Each structure stands twice: as structure tokens, then as C-alpha cells.
């Protein structure tokens, strides 16, 4: 048992019913956070599970997590109830939503139901105000550009070893500018910022998905979360199904007063927003491997960049970027990390 796990064990044992608990590792994520399960004794043979989050304060700021968790739970969003929190040590005791990630439950038969429930929850999130004690940061120019810069910095230069010429940099600058302006032109809502099948839990007896990993929420473009969900970096769906789900979301979010966009406008927002996100994600996957030794994320890079290739093919203004990605970048990705691996529904 490492030092932090011992501190976490001592912390959780101070609460009634958890005096003899032994935290069992559940998962870690792409950050420094780790999660453990503990069991509270409530009767002779009855035990209730809870999740304990370990977020080392030198690496993770728990203030946003705690503020958003309490605010969203109070307003009916399906996030875990925050039972206890210690900001100084970086520990939190949470309601346990189980282990059934939406990703593992998706198939051709379940997808319509699971995605429509996830999109209903997303509209509820989008309508939230900022917590009184934690104004959500804006998804502004600085943040959008910093995220897109991950693509050349980590994937192109460090993972693939590309030396970017001035012409390459100019091409990227032109592309980033178009994506940035499209994002900033969209109506603003509350954005989860990582709303996909690995951050949604299917709960027994509950139609609504449990929502986790929300601490990076911001105020930003109305299509950001729905593109994270429907153009998921971990699973890919046929174009016709994505179109059907997107139009259902557009209509429901229109009725909720989140925007006034027609189908063509909303689809264009969606396509360009997806490109911004997938530039960011591809860069992050490379960084996770290079910096943090989490090499499993490399296999998701080809799928993520393929989204970029397809989306850019639909944009006449991005024809040169599309050709550059297809002809120069993707062959190097396939040589470096292998071809796109199928993760399609069964």
C-alpha cells in the first residue's frame, strides 16, 4: 500500500460504518486521480458501496469538482452525491454508480436508447448556471488555441517526429482560425467538456446515465458535448445514425431554448467543433504516452485523426488541410502506432 493510499484509508475510516474498510482499487483516469471502493456496514449482512476519490492536491485542484458536484446534484443532474470531502488532502467520498461504463453496454440494439437518454441528460447539464462559489471558466480564445496546439506540439512533432515547415505552420494557423471562429460564434451553454461513453455509467434500474469526470466544466459552444458523445474517440458509428441522433438533439435543445439554429447551421457547427476537439484529443493521447507512460491511448489516435480527415473533406475551405492530413500525417501515424483499430458496435 502506497503512502497516499494509507492516508486515504485512515481518512475514510473516521466515518461511521467505515471504521474497518479496506479501499479496493477501482480505476484511474487520464489525470493523476485514482478511485477506490469501500463498503459501509449498515446491518448484520448488508453493506453499501461508496467510491473514494484520491486527487493529489499538488497535481489536482478539487475545488471545481466539489463545487460542480454539489451544484449539479442539487439541481437534478445525475452526478454522484458528494458525501464527504477533504480539499486539503484531496479526498472525496462519493455515491457509487457501479462499474458499467456506457462504452461496454453499447451495441446496435441498445444504442438508440442509451444515446437518447445521454442526450436528454446533456440538455439538463447545458441549462445549468455556474455554482455560486465557482464561476465556470469561459471556453475562450486562449483555451481553444491552447487545446489545438496539443496536436502539433505532441502528436506531430514529438510522437511522429515531423519538423513543421513554415508552410505547415501557416496551414495549421489557417485551419485553427476557422475552427476557433466557428466555436466562438455558437450560443454558449454549460459544457461538461468530456462527455463520452467512458464518462457515463449505465445504472441498474435507471434510464438516466450516471455522469462522472465533470470537474473541467466550462461555459462554451452548444455543440461541444454532443460532438464528444456522437463522435466518440473510443467508438465509431455509421454516419446515418449520427445524423439521426444529432437532429434529435438539435430539436430538443432548440425547444429547451439553447439555440435557434436550423439543421444545416447546427450540422456545420457540429462538424467544425468536432475537428477542434479531435485535434485536442489526438494531441492528448500522444502526450499521455510520451509524458505519462500511458501507451494504451496510442491505439485511439488513428480513429481520432480519421474523424478529422472525414470532417475536413466536407469543408471546401479546408481542402489543403484535408490533403495534408491524408497524404502526409496519416501514413506516419499508421507507421508509428498502427492502423485504425475497429471498435464498432456488435
pLDDT tens digit sequence for 182-226: 999 999 999 999 999 999 999 989 999 999 999 999 999 999 999
Average pLDDT of the chain is 94
**Distance between CA 116 and CA 102 in Å, rounded?**
12
Q: 256-292 as b/e, with b when 16 or more CB fall inside 10 Å?
A: eebbebeeeebbebbbbbbbbbbbbbbbbbbbbbeee
Task: Name the pLDDT band for 302 (thresholds 50, 70, 90).
Answer: very high
Q: Which helix (H) or strand (E) holds 73?
A: helix 62-74
Range in 38-42, 109-113, 289-293 with the lowest mean pLDDT: 38-42
Task: Name the pLDDT band for 344 (thresholds 50, 70, 90).
Answer: low
pLDDT tens digit sequence for 100-136: 999 999 999 999 999 999 999 999 999 999 999 999 9
Query: Who wins on pLDDT, 27 or 223?
Result: 223
Radius of gyration of the chain (CA): 21
Distances (CA, A) of 293 to 89, 144, 288: 25, 26, 6
pTM of the predicted structure, to 2 decimals: 0.93
Task: Name the pLDDT band for 346 (thresholds 50, 70, 90).
Answer: very low
pLDDT tens digit sequence for 239-287: 999 999 999 999 999 999 999 999 999 999 999 999 999 999 999 999 9
pLDDT tens digit sequence for 311-337: 999 999 999 999 999 999 999 999 988
Rounded (10°) CA dihedral 263, 266, 272, 274 = -100
- Residue 311, C-alpha cell as written in the block: 470532417
Amino acid at each position: 500500500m502506497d503512502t497516499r493510499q494509507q492516508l486515504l484509508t485512515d481518512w475514510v475510516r473516521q466515518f461511521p460504518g467505515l471504521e474497518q474498510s479496506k479501499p479496493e482499487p477501482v480505476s484511474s483516469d487520464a489525470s493523476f486521480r485514482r478511485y477506490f471502493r469501500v463498503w459501509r456496514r449498515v446491518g448484520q449482512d448488508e453493506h453499501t458501496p461508496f467510491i473514494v476519490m484520491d486527487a493529489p492536491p499538488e497535481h489536482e485542484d478539487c475545488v471545481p469538482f466539489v463545487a460542480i458536484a454539489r451544484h449539479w446534484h442539487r439541481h437534478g443532474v445525475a452526478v454522484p452525491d458528494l458525501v464527504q470531502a477533504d480539499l486539503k488532502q484531496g479526498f472525496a467520498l462519493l455515491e457509487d454508480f457501479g462499474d458499467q461504463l456506457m462504452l461496454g453496454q453499447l451495441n446496435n440494439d441498445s444504442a438508440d436508447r442509451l444515446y437518447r437518454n445521454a442526450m436528454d441528460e446533456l440538455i439538463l447539464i447545458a441549462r445549468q448556471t455556474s455554482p455560486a462559489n465557482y464561476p465556470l471558466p469561459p471556453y475562450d480564445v486562449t483555451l481553444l488555441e491552447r487545446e489545438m496546439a496539443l496536436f502539433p506540439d505532441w502528436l506531430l512533432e514529438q510522437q511522429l517526429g515531423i519538423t513543421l515547415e513554415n508552410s505547415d505552420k501557416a496551414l495549421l494557423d489557417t485551419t485553427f482560425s476557422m475552427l476557433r471562429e466557428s466555436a466562438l460564434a455558437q450560443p454558449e451553454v454549460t459544457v461538461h467538456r468530456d462527455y463520452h461513453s467512458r464518462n457515463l455509467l449505465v445504472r441498474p434500474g435507471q434510464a438516466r446515465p450516471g455522469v462522472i469526470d465533470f470537474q473541467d466544466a466550462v461555459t462554451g459552444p452548444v455543440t461541444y458535448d454532443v460532438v464528444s458523445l456522437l463522435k466518440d474517440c473510443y467508438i465509431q458509428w455509421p454516419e446515418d445514425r449520427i445524423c439521426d441522433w444529432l437532429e434529435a438533439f438539435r430539436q430538443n435543445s432548440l425547444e429547451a431554448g439553447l439555440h435557434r439554429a436550423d439543421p444545416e447551421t447546427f450540422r456545420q457547427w457540429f462538424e467544425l467543433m468536432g475537428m477542434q476537439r479531435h485535434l485536442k484529443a489526438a494531441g492528448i493521447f500522444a502526450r499521455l504516452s510520451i509524458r505519462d507512460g500511458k501507451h494504451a491511448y496510442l491505439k485511439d489516435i488513428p480513429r481520432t485523426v480519421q474523424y478529422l480527415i472525414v470532417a475536413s473533406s466536407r469543408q471546401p475551405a479546408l481542402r489543403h488541410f484535408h490533403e495534408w492530413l491524408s497524404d502526409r500525417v496519416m501514413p506516419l501515424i499508421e507507421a508509428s502506432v498502427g492502423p485504425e483499430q475497429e471498435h464498432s458496435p456488435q
